[in-house]
């Protein structure tokens, strides 16, 4: 209750209460939208697709790959998988590599297409010297990515 100029108690009208409530709700919506805008444009910048980083072979096929944890850090394959999928690569499997002592991350060409392996390496920031070819007709993948202990220097962590 408020006092008017003459000292009498003034009751808050239901109409003004409803208007104040609408103002508060709309203010909250504006704050939320402003937060979302800043978060999506400044804090988490949109992904800019570069030609060499898109997950498509020169023939137009989607690059299929698996991501293997070779460093033993929990959740690392998931983080790299999410990063690659945002760039239109088809990650069909995440698993552990045969050992956890891989020092430098590798891109393994499974089908004899170095250009496709190079696209994956470029997307992750892996050096061309860490692209190896291991043809395997039993694999239905273009590439395998083995994440090594150097994972923090790669693009998903930058």
Tell me the C-alpha distance between 102 and 70, whole Å.
Answer: 5
Q: What pLDDT is recorded for position 93? A: 95
Q: What pLDDT is recorded for position 78? A: 96
User: How buried is 122 (Cβ within 10 angstroms: 0-12 exposed, 13-18 middle, 19+ buried)?
Assistant: middle
Domain coverage including residue 144: 51-157
105 and 59 in one domain? yes
The predicted-structure confidence for 73-100, as pLDDT tens digits, reads as follows: 999 999 999 999 999 999 999 999 999 9
How many CB atoms neighbour CB 93 within 10 A? 13
133 and 103 in one domain? yes
pLDDT band for 9, please (50, 70, 90 cuts).
low
56 and 36 in one domain? no
Which CATH number covers residue 144? 3.30.70.2390
39 and 56 in one domain? no
137 and 66 in one domain? yes
Provide the residue count of the chain: 158
59 and 28 in one domain? no
101 and 64 in one domain? yes
Statement: residue 7 has pLDDT above 80? no
116 and 57 in one domain? yes
39 and 60 in one domain? no
Q: What pLDDT is recorded for position 154? A: 94
122 and 87 in one domain? yes
Q: What pLDDT is recorded for position 4? A: 55
Statement: residue 108 has pLDDT above 50? yes
Tell me the C-alpha distance between 64 and 144, whole Å.
Answer: 9
56 and 32 in one domain? no
Element (H, E) at 96: strand 90-96
Phi first, then psi, for residue 90 (nearest 5°) are -100, 95
Q: What pLDDT is recorded for position 50? A: 43
* Tokens read off for 11: 């009751």
Tell me the C-alpha distance between 158 and 155, whole Å.
Answer: 5
The predicted-structure confidence for 59-71, as pLDDT tens digits, reads as follows: 778 999 999 999 9
Number of domains within the chain: 2
Q: What pLDDT is recorded for position 51? A: 41
């Amino acid at each position: 209750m408020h006092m008017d100029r003459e000292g009498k108690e003034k009751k808050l009208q239901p109409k003004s209460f409803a208007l104040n409530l609408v103002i508060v709700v709309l203010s909250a919506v504006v704050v939320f939208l402003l937060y979302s805008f800043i978060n999506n444009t400044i804090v988490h910048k949109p992904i800019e697709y570069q030609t060499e980083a898109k997950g498509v072979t020169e023939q137009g096929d989607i690059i299929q790959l698996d991501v293997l944890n070779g460093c033993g850090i929990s959740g690392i394959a998931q983080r790299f998988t999410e990063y690659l999928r945002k760039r239109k690569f088809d990650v069909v499997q995440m698993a552990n590599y045969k050992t956890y002592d891989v020092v430098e991350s590798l891109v393994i060409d499974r089908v004899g297409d170095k250009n496709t392996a190079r696209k994956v390496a470029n997307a992750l920031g892996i050096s061309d010297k860490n692209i190896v070819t291991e043809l395997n007709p039993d694999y239905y993948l273009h590439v395998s990515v083995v994440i090594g202990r150097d994972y923090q220097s790669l693009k998903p962590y930058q």
